Amino acid sequence: MNGLDAIRGVILNLTRVTGERDVARDVRRLAIGAIRAGDELPGIVDQLNAAERAFNEETETWVGHEHLTQGGSGPFDACDLQCWLALASLSKVPFIPAEEILTLNEEEAERACGTTEPISPTLRARLKKALEKLPRVENKMEPSRSVNEHQLQEKLESAMDKVQSGWMVRHVRAGASGLKALAGCGLAGPEAPEVRFSADREQGPGWTRSGNRRKVDLQDMRITMVIAEGPPGPTTFVKRPWVKAARWISGEDPHRSGSLIAGPGLWPAEWRAFVENGKVIGVAFYYAWAGHASPENATMALAVRDLAQRITDQGVGQGALPRFMNIEFARSSRADIDTRFPRNVFACTLDFIETDDGLQLLEGGPACTPIGGGHPCAFAGIDPPAGVAFRPAPGVSIAEPKTWGAAAMDSECIISWDEATTLARSGS
């Protein structure tokens, strides 16, 4: 294992261990909370049941990518890659393709995500006793027994037989946390990052290998989360070519600063467009700490705005509506959210990468709102995300939201559309 792979291996292992630890911590907290709730537990469960009913009623109305591909209208999952690629195709905007390789039913996905023991036997016994007061609640603490483990593993491995070397795998709602961590630290690189830990153990973008065959990785904590948060029904994985970026920006990685693996990183030139009320209001450099104001970057930001608006116009024109449940749940308690992001108005984020063939759409996602959704990237602390943000304002750290309150427009970091146009022309 070379030096780069060694650092990648450390990041991947830390990401997986940290994810498992966070899940275990959250489950323990929920278990302790349920036990302490005592006689209030039935009321809490009633509230959770009501939320689940609202979730199901909402997501049942969402249309799939096949419907959108035919020009159909309706709400859709704002996190669904295939839906965004359908709109990009119709609007003639270049995009990185994705091809389905695996579909699992809910029981298969639950089993493939694996089981952990995040709570002690004693705490489990106390929780079981507390739940006995709730006979109407189905006990889902045990994994499904109806899935044939051998057939499931064969399914996961056979899916990878369709994936060419140097390609990546992802769930339609998100990529794996390991890949996200490597990209954020500037360690993903021009080629698909594949780390060999030993002769029979290897990890690539969205897949693992133990022995002779690769398999789709569902035990990644981010994948487990997006499946749990997504609409009920089948879960789908796709393969995508690892497209090389046309430009790379180097610099010190802020995520590893002060650690034993501190050092420089290399980030592809990627951009995020912010859409509200059917209009692109802002564009930001995706890897915010690596961006800078320049005529070339201003030119690319304006080009991103134009492409993102074409996708937006297509969605608006056919009546497609990106939906994100966190925003939907907030409408009843946050009038400002309902006013700024009306239910039947197009709002989202759209991500692009610079390639040798020009800008191409990577994916789309939910709108950037005061309660979450799409990350503000270089607009951290700026709301609404209007104009062009090359890097965060002075004093703002992406990793420290408590610093975001000090953000302000800055000519070296965040500028207006007119200023971006002037800057772009200065380089011609």
CB 194 within 8 A of CB 167: no
User: What pLDDT is attached to residue 186?
Assistant: 45
**Are both 287 and 388 inside the same structural domain?**
yes
Identify whether 75 is part of a domain: no
**Are both 36 and 147 inside the same structural domain?**
yes
Identify whether 344 is part of a domain: yes
Q: Average pLDDT for residues 11-22, to the nearest whole number? A: 45
The span from the CA of 102 to the CA of 375, in Å, is: 28
End position of a domain, from candidates 241, 276, 293: 241
With a CB cutoff of 8 Å and minimum separation 6, the contacts of 65 are: 76, 80, 82, 83, 85, 86
**Are both 296 and 392 inside the same structural domain?**
yes
- Residue 276 corresponds to which tokens in the numbers above? 């509200």
End position of a domain, from candidates 201, 225, 241: 241
Does the pLDDT at position 266 exceed 80? no
pLDDT, tens only, 231-262: 989 999 999 998 888 998 876 666 555 555 55
What proportion of the chain, given as a percentage, has pLDDT over 70? 71
**Are both 406 and 283 inside the same structural domain?**
yes
End position of a domain, from candidates 210, 241, 272: 241
**Are both 301 and 388 inside the same structural domain?**
yes
**Are both 35 and 149 inside the same structural domain?**
yes
With a CB cutoff of 8 Å and minimum separation 6, the contacts of 271 are: 283, 284, 285, 286, 300, 301, 304, 351, 352, 353, 354, 359
**Are both 22 and 165 inside the same structural domain?**
yes
Omega before 384 cis (within 30°)? Answer: yes
Mean pLDDT of the chain: 80
**Are both 321 and 187 inside the same structural domain?**
no
Kind plus residue range of the DSSP H or E element containing 279: strand 279-285
**Are both 236 and 253 inside the same structural domain?**
no
**Are both 281 and 420 inside the same structural domain?**
yes
**Are both 185 and 257 inside the same structural domain?**
no
Domain encompassing residue 379: 248-425
Identify whether 228 is part of a domain: yes
Identify whether 400 is part of a domain: yes
**74 compared with 144, residue with greater pLDDT:** 74
Q: pTM of this prediction?
A: 0.81
For the chain, how many structural domains are there in total?
Answer: 2
Helix 41-59 with 3-37: angle, nearest 10 deg: 130
